[in-house]
Structure formats: C-alpha cells, structure tokens
Amino acid sequence: MVKSSEKVLRLHQSDNVIVAKQRISVDTDLMDNGIPITAISAIPTGHKIATQHISKNNAVRKYGQIIGFATKDIKAGEHVHEQNLGFAEFEREYKFSSDVKTTNLIQKKNRATFQGIVRPDGRVATRNFIAILTSVNCSATVARYIANHFQGNKLEDWQNVDGVIALTHGSGCGTAPHGDGWDYLRRCIAGYAKHPNVAGTLLLGLGCEINQIDDMVEDLGLQNQENIMLETMTIQESGGTNSTIQEGIRCVEAMLPKANQVIRQTVSSSHIILGMECGGSDAFSGITANPGLGAAADLIVQNGGTAILGETPEIYGAEHLLIRRAESESVGRKLLNRISWWENYTKDNGAVVDNNPSPGNKQGGLTTILEKSLGAAAKGGTTNLVEVYRYADKIEKSGFVFMDTPGYDPVSVTGMVAGGANVVCFTTGRGSVFGCKPTPSLKLATNTSIYNRMNDDMDINCGRVIDEGMSVEDLGQEIFQLILDTASGKQSKSEIFGFGDEEFLPWQVGAVL
C-alpha cells in the first residue's frame, strides 16, 4: 500500500483507481495522496473509485498492474465496476527469471520447530488418521458405514488416533481408462494412501468397476510401501453390503493398535508442506489475507519448508509476475504451458478462462479475472518459483512451488493434499466454511466484518491490516506461528466442527461414458 486515508486505500503510485475502506455516499469528499476527490456515485465497501478521467478503451490500473479496460469514459470520482470496466486480452511481458534473487535460508540449527509425528520411513505427519478410500463411487456408502462405526466414543482407547474417515468420490467407472482425468483420480487415491497424515488405509471397491483395485495398487506402487498399512477388499467378493461392512470394521480395528503407537516430537519446520487456497474472495483479499499469507509462505521457505500455490485459472493475468520469479526459464515455460492448456481446455468446453470472478467476488468489489488474479498471486510471497507440478503430483522440491489445479476449492486442495500438503491455509473474504481431512485447514478472514460475523469458522482476522494498521510482515509472522501450532496438534476451527469428510474431490477431466 502506498497511502491509506480514513476512507480509501491507494495500492500503488501508478494506479488510477483507489479502494473504498467503507461504504461511501454520493458527494462524499475524499483525499487521495493529498489530492481531493469527490465521489460522484455511491461506492460499496471494497469497490474501486476512479482518481482521474479514464477514456474508453484505456487501461485501468490497480496494484500497479492492468486489471482491465474502460468500456466507456469514466469520470474522476466515479464507481469503477462491471458497468464500465471489462476484460480484454493484451500483450504481457514475459521476462523469464528477471526477478530471481537469493533466498535467505535460515541455518538448520536455528530453524523454527513444531511437534510432529515421525513415521518409520522419516515422513512427518501433522495428524494421525485411518482412511477408507474408494476406488469407485459404487462403494461410497459402504465406506461411510464402516467409518461411521467409529464415531462417538469408539476410539476412546485409541487417544492418539484422530479419527477414521471415509473419503469417497463420484468417479472410478463410466470413464476411459486413460487420459488426464484417469491419472488424476488414481494419483489422488494413491497420494492420500501414502500421505504422512494417514496411518493406515482400507481401499474399498465394488469389484466390477473400470478402476480395478489390484491394477491400481500395482500401477501406483502401493504394494511396495513397507511402512504403510494398506488393506483392500471389494463388496462383490466380500459377500455384499453387510458382510463387507463387518469385515471392513474388523480390518480397521486391526490397524488401530499400530496407528495409536505414535508420539509427537520436536521436528524442523522444514517438514511443513503448506497448501494455499483462496475462496469467496473480495477486494480485500489481495490487500490483507493474501499478502499476509505470502509473508508466512516466505518464512516457511526460509525455514526450509515448502509452500504450494495453485488455482491456475485464478493466476491468469498474473502469470508474468510468477515467471519473473522462476528460477529457470524451463520452470517458467512449464507454467506458460499450463496456461496455454487452460485456454484450449476452456475453449473446447464452450467457456473462457476469464469467466471469473464469481457473483460473490463481484459483490466484494472484484470486477475482472486480472484483478482477482493479481490479488490471488500475492499468496505466493516473494521467493523464487522452483518448480511447477501437474495436478496431484508428489511435491518433491522444497521452496515455493506451483501446482496446476482448478480454482474450485475442494478440487484444488484435494490435488495439493495428494501431493503431500500437511497444512492448508485458506483465505476468504465472503466466508468459506471449508475443511480438509486428513490435513488441517486454517481460514484467514480478509476483513474484520466477516471475521466477526463468522467467528466460529475463521482462525485469523487479517482485516487488522486495514482497521488497525497492522503490518503485513507482522500478520505473516502470526500466520506462520499458527501454522506451526496447528501442525503440532492445535485444532483449527473447521476441525472442531468436523469438516473434511466431504471435501475429497479429485479433478474429473474427460468424458463420462
């Protein structure tokens, strides 16, 4: 932020719009960087006000970047939104690796720590679940019946087990056994089965589905995981619904003693793999919560950990900024290739990449995908982009990385967790109630109003950057500490409510046959 007055925010010296901190009535006198402006229309909270005359077809700038073009002449003091601002393609300057800098890594002996669960093979967990994963939607109900058996006080003798969860989905059959959608589904199932937060897995199928369990186990190397408890069964071979439920219960009961034999111990924060998501964004997302999370992501990277940015359609228009931070041109081109794939994918399906923002985003003051993307990209902090991953690929590099995911929250986070994310931070300005098992999810409110209205759901109030003048750096430090506390076992708000059983949603790409 360049300048903040009582009623408005200027985000960059070159901007020709400012942001309303509160609702502004017609004829209200405002002060922008020492220059008086009179509002000639009512301006809702978080919405944009023109600081000068902007001629039709000229660029509108926010964050020092182009967020769209005037669709008609805009007067100084006028509300800038859908009625006079639109998206249009323009040439973006791709300066590969031009902003690469040395990351100030903290020495290992001085790195922050948390209380983690160390698996026999060295993987570090933040939670300790037993999961029932389904190969096909046809086995979803039976999986839930098995998991439901362990509700209430059924785990009172197994205090170190966080729960038995059924993670079901809507696919696994009626689809071609090849292509992206097929790979994504199987990678998600395998990624969750191998996840450090999962002590044991029961993989449950129907028996006649395309996604055959034996083939999946062999193809994805699950049978070679000596330190992973994995059992498989199908409903047809186990004698039907009731027999499978009873056998499944016995299978989980046999896993509980070993799963319970864990002790949290002090480990380096380099074991944190943070998934970052934003949902229900508003105009303050790119001013408070997302930059604050970006500052926390920088701290994680400096401590040797990993921070994952995703939502490819929602960094569209800001990709040139990420490419400048790519540690090599090859990494930058991987991101450009995914952008190109999305342009073709949306076109083939009768859509466009700039179909964002959503109605809720627009109510919150966001007008174009460019504006939304510039704010969303702030979650990525300032360190070098070291790798670009396909959806649900295993995250193997430390540092700031990107994963190609849709913007749809549960699909996006499912891919990150499958890749290894053991903590998730979710920023929201409209009020999301998202949760994510087996990985704890923290929700960061972008404004004080939504934090107060939905206090039961929000973990941090990032609106203090606006209301109290809190620095983004201080907010980032607070988020970083909460990430460590949560990784050590402190429950997030969504965990207290029990969210996360319904949010396993692999990305379904391709024809349903």
In the predicted model, is pLDDT for residue 227 greater than 80?
Answer: no
From residue 24, alpha-carbon distances to 3, 30, 150, 333, 381 in Å are 18, 9, 53, 44, 32
- Is residue 81 very low, low, confident or very high in pLDDT (cuts 50, 70, 90)? very high
Mean pLDDT of the chain: 95
Quickly state the pLDDT bin for 2 (edges 50, 70, 90). Answer: low
Judged on CB neighbours under 10 Å (0-12, 13-18, 19+), 151 is exposed
Domains of the chain, residue spans: 3-86, 119-265, 269-497
**In this structure, are strands 198-205 and 229-234 parallel, antiparallel, or unpaired?**
parallel
Q: Output DSSP code: residue 346.
A: H
User: Do 486 and 147 form a contact (C-beta atoms < 8 A)?
Assistant: no
Query: Which CATH architecture best describes the domain 119-265?
Result: 3-Layer(aba) Sandwich (3.40)
Q: What's the Cα-to-Cα distance from 119 to each of 1, 198, 231, 459, rounded to whole Å?
A: 44, 10, 18, 28
Question: Tens digit of pLDDT for each residue in 95-110?
Answer: 999 999 999 999 999 9
Length of the chain: 513
Cβ atoms of 419 and 435 within 8 Å: the answer is no
**330-341: pLDDT as tens digits:** 999 999 999 999
Q: Where are the alpha helices (DSSP H) in 112-240?
A: 140-148, 180-193, 213-219
C-alpha distances (whole Å) from 218 to each of 178, 204, 213, 414, 491 are 16, 15, 9, 22, 36
The tens digit of pLDDT for each residue in 383-433 reads 999 999 999 999 999 999 999 999 999 999 999 999 999 999 999 999 999
- For the cut 70, the answer to whether the pLDDT of residue 224 exceeds it is no
Residue 367: Cβ-neighbour burial (10 angstroms; 0-12, 13-18, 19+): buried
What's the rounded Cα separation, in Å, for the pair 117 and 487?
9
Topology of domain 3-86, CATH: 2.30.130
Query: Exposed, middle or buried by CB within 10 Å (0-12, 13-18, 19+), for 113?
Result: middle
Quick one: pLDDT at residue 358? 83
Check pLDDT > 60 for residue 49: yes
Measure the CA–CA gap between 282 and 213, rounded to whole angstroms: 43
DSSP 354: G
d(CA 115, CA 484) in angstroms, rounded, equals 8
